[in-house]
Amino acid sequence: MARYTGPKVRLSRRVGVPIADIPKHTSKRQLNPPGMHGYRMRRLRDYGLRLNEKQKLRYHYNVLEKQFRAYVDEAARRPGNTGELLMQLLETRLDNVVRRSGFARTIWAARQMVVHGHVRVNGKKVDRPSFAIKVGDELSFKPKIEKLVREHMETMAGYEVPGWLDINPGKLTSKIVALPVSEQIPFDINPNLVIEFYR
């Protein structure tokens, strides 16, 4: 299946939680199930619970199923807690780091910045949203996009940047100082249910 191009709020309504931290997604009215009347809420069975958690993660990070499955397999190969490793792999995607740094309001805006070649990693242009950022890497922007980035930052006044990122608002740079841990991820998810879905 190709990239989803439909209404984004519909995704929030489908999984029952806001997948973007903007008013359009967070209003109570928008979290009713999709459809004219919404389907009658049935109690989810074990499979449905795990599927819903997986879809929450996919929608939050804007990742297709095939790519998401590859992240799950990679997390399972590495030594350590598979659920935490999966979250680290998703959090350190380039488009997500741009969003977490407060330079873009949504994952879709961050992805567009990256794909259009406006983001630099350690001074080099990177146009792949899935590019894996490592500890010590520094993000910056091309001069022609800096005005838009500042406008995004002004609309997000009061946004708290996670502790694993070191932001310089004056220079519009972001440096990764550590790998994210589960307490630093501002999205309520149970990654163990996601792993169980694939096992």
Q: Count the Cβ atoms, other than its own, within 10 Å of residue 72.
A: 22
For 71, the token pair is: 């992240």
Question: Which amino acid would we find at residue 22?
Answer: I
134-170-180 Cα angle (round to 5): 25
Query: What predicted TM-score, i.e. pTM, was given to this entire model?
Result: 0.85
- Rounded to whole angstroms, what are the CA distances from 89 to 17, 36, 152? 22, 37, 25
| pLDDT tens by residue, the chain, 199 residues | 467 788 887 887 788 777 777 766 666 555 666 666 555 566 778 888 889 889 889 988 999 999 999 999 999 999 999 989 999 999 999 999 999 988 988 899 999 999 999 999 998 999 999 999 999 999 999 999 889 989 888 888 778 888 899 988 888 899 999 988 888 888 788 888 888 888 8
Q: HSE-up of 15 (CA within 13 Å, CB side)?
A: 24
Whether residue 99 contacts residue 107, with contact meaning beta carbons closer than 8 Å, is answered with yes
pLDDT value for 1 = 46
Furthest-apart CA atoms within the chain: distance in Å: 52
pLDDT value for 182 = 82
The SS3 of residue 150 is helix
Residue ranges covered by each domain of the chain: 7-42, 93-178
Q: Crossing angle, helix 46-61 and helix 65-77, to 10 degrees?
A: 100
For 139, the token pair is: 């993000």
Whether residue 14 contacts residue 157, with contact meaning beta carbons closer than 8 Å, is answered with no
Q: How far is the C-alpha of 112 from the C-alpha of 62, rounded, in Å?
A: 12
CATH class of 93-178: alpha beta
pLDDT value for 70 = 93
